[in-house]
Amino acid sequence: MKDWPDEHARGDDVMIALHARRSASAIGAWADMRGSSGLAVVLTGTDLYRDIRTDTSAQHSLDAASRLVVLQELGIEELPAQHRAKARVIYQSMPSRRDVAKTAKRLVAVMVGHMRDVKSPQTLFDAARLLGSRDDIEIRHIGRAEEEHWAQLARKTEADCPNYRWLGPLPHGDTRRAIQRAHVLVHTSILEGGAHVIIEAVCSGTPVIASRVAGNVGMLGRDYEGYFEHGDAAGLARVVTACRDTQKADDPARFGLARLSAQCALRAPLFAPETERRAVQQLVHDLRETP
């Protein structure tokens, strides 16, 4: 959430707080002094899919706010019914990058994310094994292992599967270039509030193959065709294979790489900096109009 403050930002008449639970004390202090007037809370995946269900301080933050912001279109459905009317979607943004030439000799799939349970790296390891005989498909995995057993699994997959490479953590600029040069981004998470890496891919002209979970569907749209069921390594492998098998065919009418690219291009305007800027300005305006 690089374009939002780390915790909360306030002026004389408005406060925009990030995270219902983590900013609960600041939200409570504002509410004690001013009530809900001028107060917005921006909700992340942790808020939507965990904290507002289990944490009373997060629940109080929802009650206190006059406006709620979610980062993808299905986020509103996760809110208690009584709070949905005061919620809106503001997508995070990323400047677009020009298209670059990509090799036709193989399909390069990149996955970006530090390895932990919620990111479901095991799905990628299993798909790499299913694709192990395909020397025309290369899988690059960027991110650190947050527990040693993930590092061991990544190294074992690398040893067993010549087409899988674990690159470890990379600087952001190098990661963005790797996404730009890949043919597809793979995103296997079980829980997301609005993954920024999806925005980076779409704004780099790289289509996404993603687990069909609410946070990803809310970013890419209900009708997007590049999904696989969460944890279904065979389903992931099938979509990757379809992208490789259609790599040289520039035909959006046929399921494959060109079709997913065209569908992602339609979503790109949602993630443009000017779109986010206008939405935030409108939020501030509306907060100042709140009685």
What pLDDT is recorded for position 52?
Answer: 95
Distance, in Å, from the CA atom of 125 to the CA atom of 143, rounded to the nearest integer, reads 14
Residue 8 has pLDDT above 60, yes or no: no
Is the same domain home to 75 and 181?
Answer: no
Q: Which tokens go with 200?
A: 């980076």
> In terms of domains, do 123 and 31 share one?
no
Global pTM? 0.90
DSSP state of 115: B
Residue 97 lies in a domain: no
Task: Copy the structure tokens of residue 121.
Answer: 């790296």
Q: What is the tens place of the pLDDT at every residue in 86-127?
A: 999 999 999 998 888 899 999 999 999 999 999 999 999 999
> How many Cα atoms sit within 13 Å of 277 on the Cβ side?
5
Same domain, 131 and 159: yes
Q: Is residue 98 part of a domain?
A: no
Kind and range of the H or E run holding 8: strand 8-10
Does residue 100 fall inside a structural domain?
no
Check whether 65 has a pLDDT greater than 60. yes
- Crossing angle of helices 148-160 and 121-130, in 10° steps, is 10
Residues 111 and 252 in one domain: yes
Do residue 181 and residue 230 come from a single domain?
yes
Instruction: Assign 3-state DSSP to the chain and report helix, strand, coil percentages, each to 5.
Output: 45, 15, 35
Q: Give residue-wise pLDDT tens across range 175-224.
A: 999 999 999 999 999 988 889 999 999 999 999 999 999 999 999 999 99
Domain boundaries, position 116: 107-270
Ramachandran region of residue 111, left (φ > 0), alpha (ψ -120 to 50) or beta? Answer: beta
Do 80 and 111 share a structural domain? no
Mean pLDDT throughout 163-173? 96
For residue 5, pLDDT beyond 60: no
Distance CA(68)–CA(110), nearest Å, equals 33
* Cα–Cα distance measured from residue 107 to residue 257, given in angstroms and rounded to the nearest whole number: 10
3 part of a folded domain: no
Pair (112, 214) in one structural domain: yes
Give the span between the Cα atoms of 143 and 154, in whole angstroms: 11
CB atoms < 10 A from the CB of 167, how many? Answer: 15
pLDDT at 2 (0 to 100): 46
Give every CB contact of residue 229 below 8 A, 6+ residues apart in sequence.
Answer: 211, 212, 235
To which residue do tokens 């800027």 refer? 277
Task: Check residue 7 and give its pLDDT.
Answer: 53
139 pLDDT above the threshold of 50: yes
Residues 58 and 82 in one domain: yes
Contacts of 286 (CB under 8 A, 6+ apart): 67
**Within this chain, do residues 235 and 276 fall inside the same structural domain, yes or no?**
no
Please check whether residues 192 and 261 belong to one and the same domain: yes
Same domain, 257 and 280: no
Asked if residues 157 and 125 have their Cβ atoms less than 8 Å apart, the reply is yes
